[in-house]
Amino acid sequence: MDQTGGTAVTPKSPWGSAAPAAPACSLADVMSEQLATQLDEENNAFPALTDPAADLLLSDEASETTSDLMLAKMLQMQFDREFDDQLRREEKKFNGESKVSISFENYRMVHPYEDSDSSEDEVDWQDTRHDPYKADKPQTTPRRGFTGKGKNITTKHDAETCGRKNTARMDNFAPEVHVGDGLGMDLKLSNQVFNSLKQHCYSEQRRSARLHEKKEHSTAEQAVDPRTRLLMYKMVNAGVLENINGCISTGKESVVFHADGGSLEEQPVPDEVVLKVFKTTLNEFKNRDRYIKDDYRFKERFSKLNPRKVIRLWAEKEMHNLARMKKAEIPCPEVVLLKKHILVMSFIGKDHVPAPKLKDVVLNSEDMKNAFYQVLHLMQLMYQECNLVHADLSEYNMLWHEGKVWLIDVSQSIEPTHPHGLEFLFRDCRNVSTFFQKRGVSEAMSVYELFNAVSGLNIPVGAEEEAEFMAEIVALEKRNEDHVQKRGKKTFPVTCEDGDPPLKPDADD
């Protein structure tokens, strides 16, 4: 009560009515087993509440996940699985069909589990951070240059240590060098072997670079350099050619392409033509300048210091030789156009199929006999009417088309006044005679009879046939060379009626 004699009023709590205070109990009651049992019975009286989200996360092994730590690990693993799958899809979408791919491997979550749900067509993930094939790093020696003490001291020059270091340094070689792997092997390379391998790899890289650069600037096997390709494109754009179909033949000094003819203002272009592209690789022409430097038609223009001009002269020479042969009505390709080192000629064949070479065609005995007499007649026409020696006549440079023998590849053909003209003619006669005798042509002449029949020189054949015959040929060449240098005329009879610069037979002897 207060001083006025009234009853005391308890102030009202702003937090609502106060809960009744829990009854006080002693520490002994708390620790009693009877009280603990009573509390468990009260908890079991309430029904268990199930969480649907927890049921989805927990698998059949939920009985083993009573630990919160284990449950957290499983949840994290599931999250990592989903993250890795999403990363795979992003990488596959980013790379597409590109041959060069970008890897997101460093961003994935690596866990020691088997991903059995991943399909086989997905990216094969490999943890290169634990690559078993990666070479172990050799132990490095300290800065002082040795390890150990006393008798167990090991310097940086130790053979085993250097061997292991050299083996590990092989990984730094160029990718094209296949060094293999030494998984599980203690490989050691001596300094001598390693230095030899290193020098070899360096030399191979330089050689490969030289070949690549050379190929970019030269006409190679079944390929053309950018300059030649540009010339061919210009022919197509100008309408001379409709299209270029592909390579049909390759040789030591040229590549032959088949093309469909277009039109020219000066002359008609055949429906099918060939492009003879003389190779700009200089190796093929190092030993062939003797065919052109002594030819009076090109002697003044011959330049050994400018190989590209020599190659153009080679193409021009074949054009002039074909023109002579065409005037004498010898079966040969007809020249359509000459553009630097590209010669466009008529195609010998039909429907994109070239005529077979004489060495590949199968003829009966009568046709083979007829072919021999045709070749004999063609050689006589070339020598007597065209004033030419083929200089590379064989079954490889004669085609069989429409029952006739056609002569091709006359870029090296020379005149009989050439210092080696008769020697080249004798070689041609040997090739022709040997071929037809092997094919069983009984009428085929010997090499000496064929030479005399073509040249009309009637050189006698002695006991030692070839030695004496060649001596007579060399003597004739020497006498003719001296005479040509003095008078510019020939000593043995050859007639020429074409429009080329004449070299008439000598009338004084």
* Burial class of 79 by CB neighbour count within 10 A (0 to 12, 13 to 18, 19+): exposed
Q: Are 180 and 187 in contact (CB under 8 A)?
A: no
DSSP-assigned letters across all residues of 446-471 = PHHHHHHHHH-------SSHHHHHHH
Quickly state the pLDDT bin for 294 (edges 50, 70, 90).
Answer: low
- pLDDT for residue 329 is more than 80: yes
Same fold, 223-354 and 355-488: no
Please tell me the distance from the alpha carbon of residue 201 to that of residue 442, in angstroms, as a whole number: 59
> What average pLDDT is seen over the chain?
76
User: What is the reported pLDDT for 426?
Assistant: 92
Residues of the chain above pLDDT 70, percent: 66
Between 436 and 130, where is the model more confident?
A: 436
Total Cβ atoms within 10 A of residue 308: 13
- 462-472 pLDDT, tens digit each: 645 677 788 88
Q: Does domain 355-488 have CATH number 1.10.510.10?
A: yes
Q: How far, rounded to the nearest angstrom, does the alpha carbon of residue 5 sit from its chain's CA centroid?
A: 120
Closest Cα to residue 297, out of 413, 454, 420, 426?
413
Show the DSSP H helices in 341-408 as ranges: 365-384
Annotated active-site residue in 392, 409, 428, 500: 392
Residue 303, pLDDT score: 54
Query: Regarding the domain delimited by 223-354, which CATH topology (the fold level of the hierarchy) does it fall under?
Result: Phosphorylase Kinase; domain 1 (3.30.200)
**In the chain, where the domains are located:** 151-209, 223-354, 355-488
User: In the structure, what pLDDT confidence band is assigned to residue 124 with cuts at 50, 70 and 90?
Assistant: very low
Q: Could you report the per-residue pLDDT of 138-177, keeping only the tens digit for each?
A: 556 566 667 777 777 777 778 888 888 888 888 777 777 7
Query: How high is the pLDDT of residue 22?
Result: 60
Q: Give mean pLDDT, residues 343-352.
A: 93
Three-class SS state of 70: helix
Distance between CA atoms of residues 125 and 108, nearest Å: 9
- Is pLDDT of 349 > 50? yes
User: What separation in angstroms does the CA of 169 have from each of 17, 177, 197, 312?
Assistant: 83, 13, 11, 51
Q: How many residues does the chain have?
A: 509
Range 271-295 average pLDDT = 72
Which stretch, 1-15, 89-103, 356-370, 486-500, has highest mean pLDDT? 356-370
Cα gap 31→28, rounded to integer Å? 5
d(CA 363, CA 39): 116
pTM over 0.85: no
CA dist 459 and 20 (Å) reads 148
Distance CA 213, CA 123 (A): 38
Per-residue pLDDT for 9 more than 50?
yes
367 catalytic residue (yes or no): no
Output the CA angle 371-379-491, nearest 5 degrees: 160
pLDDT of 214 reads 55
Confidence of residue 116 (pLDDT cuts 50, 70, 90): very low
Per-residue confidence (pLDDT) for residue 375, from 0 to 100: 96
Helix H or strand E segment including 73:
helix 68-95
Residue 462, both tokens? 């002695």
pLDDT tens-digit series, residues 144-153: 667 777 777 7
